[in-house]
Amino acid sequence: MISGYTFRPRAWAALLAAAGCAAGIALGNWQAGRAAEKRASAAGEQRMALRGEFLERYTVLLDNKLNRGRPGYHVVQPLRLADGRQVLVNRGWVAAPAHRELLPQLRTPPGKHEIEGRVLEHFPRAYVPSGARPEGHVWQNVELATFAAWSGLKLERYVLEQHSPFPDGLARNWPPADSGAQMHEAYALQWYTLAALSVVLFVVLSWRRAAPPV
């Protein structure tokens, strides 16, 4: 006992502290796990070089993509290889025109080209309402199954993020594979701090002035 004070915790305060501590630890662990996933993804990064011809008629623009603060699109096209296989390629970023109803002018050099880049399981996903279906050539998400159904093409079960230069005017300054890991680690630290603060506040506020002796 501290002189003049006694430790008398309240039940409701103990419950709040326990809930806050548990939530902080759980969310901190989740953020730490996301950071670990990104670092593991970077460590196991796979690159690939493919030679083929882009199928311009099946071009899709991934909407709401920023490049150095400018709005634009990612240009997605299938690449037809010499053996007939087709791979979806994220060719790079193009700026959006000033008016939303206009689409950017794209250049797709004809013929066969060698394309090198990073192999991904899927394109980055944005949230869209459940049941929403892509229309036209501007999509919010590109899923392999959806693209295959829309185009009628049989696609390989991976996508390629193009890194090699190409005479098309697109930007390809992609973030590194572990991009965002430090952000998740910072969030994890914040949640762990909240968990510790819940315990500290509970202990501090549970000390109350002792009743004077009668």
| Average pLDDT by stretches of 10, the chain with 214 residues | 72 87 92 83 84 97 94 97 96 93 92 95 74 80 94 96 95 82 89 92 80 60
At 72 the pLDDT is: 96
pLDDT of res. 128: 66
Beta bridge partners of 210: none
d(CA 162, CA 183): 25
Q: Given this model, what pLDDT does residue 10 score?
A: 84
pTM of the model: 0.70
